[in-house]
């Protein structure tokens, strides 16, 4: 299985007023993130607004990311649906485009019991020949991945990673203890990345890494070198971005930060709203402090 580790920015999906993906903007962002030292790219994560895009837009985002990466770093493309058949079709399409891995997300309208949650993720992993990262975010999803389901999914030969966006770091330790080396943990921005690295995490997939890539990579390197005092000093500074991120709309916050930095990524996809002027100033101030 591929060795995924380090900082994977959750990419935004830049759209113009007509809904076309601004592939040139996305390509420039990807290139700059790679030059800043990130270890991989994740299109169609939460910050990528996957729930608000149609299939053509999703495919365009993934294709543009893969073309921009040029094999320099792995691309783990998001797959999300309320339908197992549609999720399988997306995963196969992303693999055909050249994705190095799949980030599997489960959407649900009606609550779904554990056996059906498990079968959804297994169907995705069965459908592709590339590694699968399972994703859980109980803040946004009606059907969570329980510890029992995660432990069983960890036995699948292509499910080797989980990105957990709960706010419960103890849950991450429980996943590690129960699954051992069978599944490796990526942190989310809802967790403190340095703390997750300390207990055995292998990196993080998060929207803020789009706007602070260099500092994120520096934090990762300090953690890998076990220079914990320096890592925590930097983590305290970076946490201000996460605090702003938690207060405002997910994509709106990161898109505003990128606009401030000169990337014309546009507004969040309706019915979401852009940040207000006051909210934008909070993001500006956080970025200015980290410059």
CATH number of the domain that residue 48 is part of: 3.20.20.70
Give the range of the structural domain holding residue 42, as residue numbers without chain letter. Answer: 6-290
User: Is 224 within a domain?
Assistant: yes
Tell me the average pLDDT across 155-164: 96
pLDDT for the residue 1 = 60
Full-model pTM? 0.96
pLDDT for the residue 176 = 95
At 36-54, the pLDDT tens digits run: 999 999 999 989 999 999 9
Q: Which residues are annotated as a binding site for pyruvate?
A: 47, 205
pLDDT for the residue 110 = 85
Tell me the average pLDDT across 3-26: 97
User: Is 1 within a domain?
Assistant: no
Please state which of the ranges 119-133, 168-182, 236-250, 265-279 shows the lowest mean pLDDT: 236-250
Q: Which residues are annotated as a binding site?
A: 47, 205
- The verdict on whether 35 is a catalytic residue reads no
Q: Give the pLDDT band of residue 23 (cuts 50, 70, 90).
A: very high
User: Is 102 within a domain?
Assistant: yes
Tell me the average pLDDT across 101-107: 95
Domains in the chain: how many in total?
1
Residue 105, pLDDT > 70, answer yes
Q: Give the pLDDT band of residue 144 (cuts 50, 70, 90).
A: confident
Out of 10, 120, 161, 163, the active site residue is: 163
User: Is 174 within a domain?
Assistant: yes
pLDDT for the residue 141 = 67
Packed helices 55-69 and 84-97: angle between N→C axes, nearest 10 degrees: 30
- The verdict on whether 163 is a catalytic residue reads yes
Out of 135, 161, 220, 263, the active site residue is: 135
Tell me the average pLDDT across 256-285: 95
Tell me the average pLDDT across 54-81: 97
Residue 140, pLDDT > 70, answer no
User: Is 145 within a domain?
Assistant: yes
User: Is 71 within a domain?
Assistant: yes
Q: Give the pLDDT band of residue 290 (cuts 50, 70, 90).
A: confident
User: Is 57 within a domain?
Assistant: yes
| The token pair that represents 192 in the structure block | 């403190």
């Amino acid at each position: 299985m591929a060795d995924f580790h380090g900082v994977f920015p959750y990419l935004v999906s830049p759209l113009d007023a007509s809904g076309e993906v601004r592939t040139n903007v996305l390509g420039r962002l990807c290139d700059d993130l790679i030059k800043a030292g990130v270890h991989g790219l994740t299109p169609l994560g939460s910050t990528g607004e996957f729930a608000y895009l149609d299939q053509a837009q999703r495919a365009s985002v993934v294709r543009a990311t893969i073309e921009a990466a040029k094999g320099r770093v792995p691309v783990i493309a998001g797959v999300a649906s309320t339908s197992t058949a549609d999720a399988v079709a997306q995963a196969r399409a992303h693999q055909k485009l050249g994705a190095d891995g799949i980030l599997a997300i489960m959407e649900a309208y009606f609550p779904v019991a554990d056996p059906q949650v498990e079968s959804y993720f297994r169907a995705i992993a069965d459908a592709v020949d590339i590694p699968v990262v399972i994703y859980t975010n109980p803040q946004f999803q009606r059907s969570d991945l329980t510890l029992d389901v995660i432990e069983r999914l960890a036995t699948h030969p292509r499910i080797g990673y989980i990105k957990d966006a709960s706010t419960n770091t103890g849950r991450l330790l429980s996943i590690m203890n129960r699954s051992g080396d069978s599944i490796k943990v990526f942190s989310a921005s809802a967790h403190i990345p340095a703390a997750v690295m300390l207990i055995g995490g292998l990196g993080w997939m998060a929207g803020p890494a789009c706007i602070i890539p260099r500092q994120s990579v520096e934090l990762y390197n300090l953690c890998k070198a076990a220079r914990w005092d320096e890592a925590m000093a930097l983590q305290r500074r970076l946490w201000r971005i996460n605090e702003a991120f938690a207060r405002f709309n997910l994509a709106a916050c990161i898109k505003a930060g990128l606009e401030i930095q000169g990337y014309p990524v546009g507004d969040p996809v309706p019915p979401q709203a852009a940040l207000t002027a006051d909210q934008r100033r909070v993001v500006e101030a956080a970025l200015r402090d980290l410059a």
